[in-house]
Chain A
Amino acid sequence: MEISKMKIFGVPHKTVFVVDHCPYMAESSRQQVECDVLTKSRAQGVIPLAPVSKSLWTCAVECSMEYCRILYDIYPKDKVVNYIVSDSEFHILNSWRQEEQSTHELMSALAAVGPPNPREDPECCSILHGLVAAVESLCKITELQHERRTALMDTAERVANRGRIICLTNAKSDTHVRMLEDCIQETILEQNKLAAGSDRLMAIQQCELALVHIYPQGEDTLVSDRPKKEISPLLTSEVHSVRAGRHLATKLNILVQQHFDLASTTITNIPMKEEQHANTSANYDVELLHHRDAHLEFFKSGDLHMAGTSTRENGLKETVTLKWCTPRTNSIELHYCTGAYRISPTDVNSRPSSCLTNFLLNGRSVLLEQPRKSGSKVISHMLSSHGGEIFLHVLNSNRSTLEDPPSISEGCGGRVTDYRITDFGEFMRENRLTPVSESSHDPSGKLPFERAKGQLERHTRYWPMIISQTTIFNMQAVVPLANLIVKETLTEEDVLTCQKTVYNLVDMERKNDPLPISTVGSRGKGPKRDEQYRIMWNELETLVKTHAGATDRHQRVLDCIIACRSKPPEEEERKKRGRKREDREDKTEKNGSKDTDDKSWQDSERLKGVPDKEDQESEVIKDSPDSPEPLNKKPRLSTEEVQPPERAKGPVSLLSLWTNRITTANSRKHQEFLGRVSSVNNKFELYQHLKDENGMDVHENGKASR
């Protein structure tokens, strides 16, 4: 697709309307409007009101407002209008400022001006006052020009100053028109000199004058039409001589299209409920204006005729017909769209137009079909509203050059099957974006999107991509801490929650709760329970360490973990421990409950470590549920028939009774296997190996025996 190459600071950036407010504009256009449409039943005996007729002024004003309405609909910013009225002096009705760019603003100002006073001395009045003011106005810098000049700094001269003057007047003759042109030319030269010495003014590089001579119906024109001609390198001028009323409206509609590169599309076959007969529907057509690039594809392929172009009665304007298409599209579909252009209905308050626009404004989208003489139907466009603005989307209907790509499952990482898709989905929801008002200033001085990136950075400091790489993110118990620790700042309450999470984990460990260590790819048995907890604590510590530097409160969470967790033994201690274990395992074979044995060992090991710690930390431990309790010792005394501690509390179901029985039986069968494994490998590698082959669940739950 090719983006429109309309220059940002081309002629259309600035438009000045200069409308004649001299006494002769108060003359009637002689186009009469019957506004008293009497119904037959009431007609008897009632004298209908005489038709009203608009003045030349009214015609000029309403057509210029229509021009502005279309302009503002399609270019709500970056194209600005300055409206000037001229009689014995000039009246500037608005400025280039964005907040004064609306038809409401202009109409309010026009109401204050009122119609021309027919009794004013015509000798004092002239359109020239307005034209001079228009040139002066074109030299004034717009907000966008200022913004860009400031941004470009030393290349500020790249910001050009061009503009257009649309003059609606009643000229006396061709000579009069030439006089007006000369005057504009002279004023430009004068103003450019002034601008050269000013910061707030810019010299005019190009000015287009469109002079529209308006005369009443039934009169002959005294001014002849003239196509665009160059008066000087700075000024071009064109003259349109038009009768007031309908003709003037058509002319300005054509001009707004030419001036702003617009094109027309007629939506046809719009089904619409009849007001009177609610259950029948007739098909309507609605004409829309929009940037002409929405038709780019048609122009280029020479497909215009096939697309149903029809030349309208005036012979000057063309419209492309597109057919309303059912079924409608849904909003969760992402169409390949090569352009979206704002629209404006040509006949904004006609019933078909307002039906269509209201339908779209309610959030529905409509696909549009290119009518073709034969063959398949081609959906080429879509009408859709976004926040009270309607856009004509151009959909790609050509063959894609990206077809048949290698599937993502064939590429890098494509064979991995246990991605944390759901977790990352949750991550994405937490990292959704929202508009932040420009006025809200962040103390860090960072823009909102930088803060969003910052949040992503914090949330991903430790983020394992696959399920078998993580334990803590598979544990519901860790969720409160994992959610809080990534925050930029923690409250005192957050720290408490994190600490509670840690205590809870300690409690789980004490109770010997099983951990969701992945069993993926495990042959044999997974790591032992204490090994599982070591892995879990290591991982938790890794997560929290990445945030500990953020604030003191983050650090306190880490401190809490370090203080509470079973210490990973030093290398030497490990070896010792391994030897001890071997001894113990002999006993365990008889005993049948090695886990609890280990546990108690672990506890005692930890207790040894505690006194080395600072007082504060040892306090924490005393307060924590992690402090040794007699309960821990109990299982050591347990016989075969005693259930594991985590199942010992609460009512016991038949299923769990049975499961426990099987588990106990199985665990007995496994003992020998375990011993063999540990005796084959050297002690250090025993742990590494077990870590790889996470198979603990199988063993613990007794769901399967090997």
Chain B
Amino acid sequence: MPTVVLMDVSLSMTRPVSQDGIEEFQRKNLAVHGLNMLFEHMASNYRLEFTALMAFSSLWELLVPFTRDYNALQEALSNLEDYDKTCVESALNGVSNVVQQEWGSACPCQVVLVTDGSLGIGKGSLRHSLLTMKQRADDKKFPLPFPFPTKMFILCVANAEELQMTGAMDNLEELLRLSGGDGQIFSMEGLLCMQSVQAMFGKLIDRAYSPFHAVLHCGNLSSDVQVFPRPEPFVVDEEVEPMPLTVNTDLEIMGFIEIADISSPPVISRHLVLPIAVNKEVDDVGTGATDEPEEEASASQMAGKSPNFCVLLHGSLKVEGMVALVQLGPEWYGMLYSQADSKKKSNLMMSLFEPGPDPLPWLGKISHLGPISEAAENPYGEDDSKSPFPLQPQVKRSYAQNVTVWIKASGLQTDVQKILRNARKLPDKTQTFYKELNRLRKAALAFGFWELLKGVADLLERECTLLPDSAHPDAAFQLSHAAQQLKLASTGDSQYAAFDHNIVPMHTDFSS
């Protein structure tokens, strides 16, 4: 989930922080200090996150486009200049553009707005923006909510009392609500100083940038992993279950499925699963195994050399073209697979399905997937020629059965013509003739369209009179039999108009 850091560089940020001590700081210095701390944290613990840095006052400027180069971000922070007044709305428009250009409108994004809480005055101020929000033309709409899912974190280099007094807090709360409500407003506690700004950014880090560590299990095999980006809590239905679901820190593999069987399933998010070294005793692998000779090697080299389950799993998934089904929580599942990027580097990836007992209709209920060893015979066949998937739905969809729709006249005409065409080829086409006839009969009865039954009966009788002399004698018998049966059905007489009743060919014997 990419991050945009939106840094307020208006003049008010240069206000000095009153301190008893010797050194004097501007609010800007505190903000920069906090952001440096954030970037340092990300560089070491969350380095795959793409981050962009924007500065804004009455105008906005993209200082560093999305990057994983945290040095570049820190470098840019050290070169900030001071500008005029704060205009949040235009800056948010900037964020919207920058994000959509890079990631489209579906990718969730985090916005970290760093300000001193003085949100401008008059036109262009946040208060003004919020007041005039509802009287905008379509092309000048307020940028929130963004088209992409947003987490909005607002960090104020000011304390809560100050923000309450100026009314800035109300405006910021409104801003958070407009962005979709996902996020938080942070303010400083106590004196405005380095310690309190560190504490504030520390809270942000805990909330949004702490790496997600989990243990991947496959029976007794396991590996410590980082899941990146952090899996977000998910709400399926606010009304029925308002508590968001979270991903377990124990990820349990349940079994394996062929890629062709899982068949490009829809997922709510994708994550890298990166094995990590955790300082604990190296697993003792059986008595017959050899221990690594002691070496003077760096920790990372050691980690690279000791076997890791993720690497084994990744290798086999890739070779076999399979995925591992993994349980993420109660009735929440995902899949692990090998994903290669354009540079042919491949990685272990985890995709999350939408929470629920049966996220993929073609697999059925996940809790009802069992080991193949339980089946009487291998459902994949001895030579892998078969598959128990996909599951067939109990009722066929309309397009998979021969439904009758006469909404357009052409639908009805086609069906009548089909019967007539077969009628002219009796007795060769007896089976098809009756099949089509019965289909029409059923639909006409259901739609209460008795007039049609009479009409088709008349048509069949006419066909009977038009039969050429060379025609098989059976044709005439079948035609008049069919016509008579349709007429009987059109009376609605329960004996002849039953829906499940079928007109059967008249029994004739011309074989001799």
The answer to whether B105 and A301 have CB atoms under 8 Å apart is yes
Q: Assess the A428–B447 pair: CB atoms within 8 A.
A: no
Contact of A249 among B255, B407, B456, B499 (CB under 8 A): B407
Contact: B275 with A382, CB < 8 Å?
no
Q: A397 and B104: CB pair below 8 A? A: yes
Report chain B residues within 8 Å CB of A459.
Answer: 219
Min CB distance A41 to B, Å, is: 12
- Residue on B with the closest CB to A334? B259
| Total of A-B residue pairs, C-beta within 8 Å | 480
A306 CB to nearest chain B CB (Å):
13
Confirm or deny: A40 has a beta carbon within 8 angstroms of a beta carbon on chain B. no
Query: A61 within 8 Å of B by Cβ?
Result: yes
A-contact bits for B310-347, CB 8 A (1 contact / 0 none): 11111111011111110100000000010101010111
Binds B, one of A168-176, A277-285, A353-361: A353-361
Taking CB atoms, residues of chain A closer than 8 Å to B137 are none
| Contact pick for A349, options B103, B239, B404, B458, CB 8 Å | B404
User: Does the CB pair B371–A337 fall under 8 Å?
Assistant: no
- Among B290, B399, B448, point to the contact of A353 (Cβ < 8 A): B399
Q: Decide: B257 and A401 in contact? CB cutoff 8 A.
A: no
CB < 8 Å: which of B221, B257, B399, B448 contacts A115? B448
Residues of B within 8 A of A387 (CB): 361-362, 389-393
Any A CB within 8 A of the CB of B63: no
Q: Which residue of B lies closest to A453 (CB)?
A: B254
With A and B bound together, what is the CA distance between A605 and B466 in angstroms? 105
Say yes or no: A433 contacts B240, CB within 8 Å.
no
Asked whether B462 lies within 8 Å of A9 as measured between CB atoms, the reply is no
Indicate if B363 sits at the interface (CB-CB under 8 A).
yes
A116 vs B448: C-alpha distance in the bound complex, in angstroms?
8
Contact B275 A413 (CB under 8 A): yes
- Kindly provide the distance from the CB of B218 to the nearest chain A CB, expressed in whole angstroms: 6
Q: Which residue of A lies closest to B313 (CB)?
A: A424
Could you tell me if A388 and B396 are in contact, using CB atoms closer than 8 angstroms? yes
Knowing A344-B399, A434-B388, the reply to whether A405 touches B304 (Cβ < 8 A) is no
Contacting pair B370 A412 (CB below 8 A): no
A394 to B106, CA, bound (A): 11
When A110-B448, A388-B392, A431-B256 are in contact, do A349 and B265 touch as well, CB less than 8 Å?
A: no
Q: Which of A65, A101, A342, A468 has the most CB of B within 10 A?
A: A65
Contact residue among A353, A432, A448, A458 (Cβ-Cβ distance under 8 Å from B256): A432
User: Contacting A470 at CB < 8 Å: which of B288, B303, B392?
Assistant: B288
CB-CB under 8 A from B341, the residues of chain A are 403-405
Contact A461 B220 (CB under 8 A): yes
Q: Which residue of B lies closest to A450 (CB)?
A: B367
Q: Which of A8, A402, A430 contacts B240 (CB 8 A)?
A: A8
Q: Which residues of B contact A457 (CB under 8 A)?
A: 219-220
- Chain B, residues 293-305, CB within 8 Å of chain A (1/0): the string is 1000000010111
Partner of A430, one of B313, B372, B409: B372
User: Quick check: B264 and A334 within 8 Å, CB to CB?
Assistant: yes
B residues near A429, Cβ cutoff 8 Å: 256, 320, 380, 384
Chain B neighbourhood of A434, CB < 8 A: 369-372, 375, 379-380, 388
Residues of A near B343 (CB, < 8 A) are 404
Contact partners of B389 in chain A: CB under 8 A: 387, 435
Q: For the complex, give the distance between the alpha carbons of A404 and B343 in Å.
A: 8
Chain B CB within 8 A of A464 CB: yes
Which of B317, B373, B416, B448 interacts with A36 by CB under 8 Å? B416
> In the complex the two chains form, is A52's CB within 8 Å of B307's CB?
no
Please report the total number of A residues contacting B with Cβ < 8 Å: 160
User: With a CB–CB cut-off of 8 A, which chain A residues contact B345?
Assistant: 404-405, 407
Contacts of B306 in A (CB 8 A): 412-413, 416
Q: How far is the CA of A405 from the CA of B227 in the complex (A)?
A: 12
| Cβ A425 vs Cβ B100 within 8 A | no
Chain B residues whose C-beta falls within 8 Å of the C-beta of A433 in the assembled complex: 254-257, 325, 369-372
Q: Is the CB of B275 within 8 A of A405?
A: no
B48 at the interface (CB under 8 A from A): yes
| B103 and A432 contacting across the interface, CB-CB below 8 Å | no
Q: Find out whether the CB atom of B321 lies under 8 angstroms from the CB atom of A332.
A: yes
Interface segment among B118-126, B170-178, B426-434, B438-446: the answer is B438-446
Residues on the A chain within 8 Å of B2, using CB:
401
* Residue in B218, B308, B374, B499 whose CB lies within 8 Å of A456: B218
The reply on A266 being an interface residue by CB < 8 A is no
In contact, A416 and B447 (Cβ under 8 angstroms): no
Mask: chain B, 94-114; 1 = CB below 8 Å from A; 0 = not: 000000101111110000000
Q: When the two chains form their complex, are residues B371 and A347 in contact, meaning their CB atoms are under 8 A apart?
A: no
Report Cα–Cα, A76/B400, bound state, in Å.
14
Which of A66, A114, A148, A401 lies in contact with B492, CB distance below 8 A? A114
Interface residue? B75 (CB, 8 A): no
Is B368 a contact of A408 with CB atoms below 8 Å? no
* B405 contacts A337, C-beta separation under 8 Å: no
Whether B160 is near chain A, meaning CB under 8 Å from some CB there, is: no
Residue A673 interfacial (CB < 8 Å) = no
Alpha-carbon distance A33/B408, docked complex (angstroms): 9
- A54 CA / B1 CA spacing, docked (Å): 58
Q: Mark B386-416, 1 if CB is under 8 A from A, else 0.
A: 0011111101111110111111110111101
A428 to B368, CA, bound (A): 18
Is the C-beta of A49 less than 8 angstroms from some C-beta in chain B? yes
Fill in one digit per residue for B150-161: 1 if any A CB lies within 8 Å of its CB, else 0.
000000000000
Smallest beta-carbon distance A126→chain B, Å = 19
- Check: A460 CB closer than 8 A to any chain B CB: yes
Determine if B288 and A33 form an interchain contact, defined as CB atoms under 8 angstroms apart: no
Q: Which of B274, B293, B399 has the most chain A CB atoms inside 10 A of its CB? A: B399
Pick from B370, B372, B391: contact of A449, CB under 8 Å: B370
Cross-chain contact A399 with B103 (CB below 8 angstroms): yes
Is A152 within 8 A of B289, CB to CB?
A: no
B311's partner among A107, A297, A408 (CB-CB below 8 A) is A408
* Given pairs A35-B452, A456-B253, 6 additional interface contacts (CB within 8 A): A340-B265, A382-B264, A386-B263, A416-B305, A432-B380, A456-B218
7 cross-chain CB contacts under 8 A: A334-B262, A338-B106, A342-B397, A349-B402, A349-B405, A408-B310, A430-B372
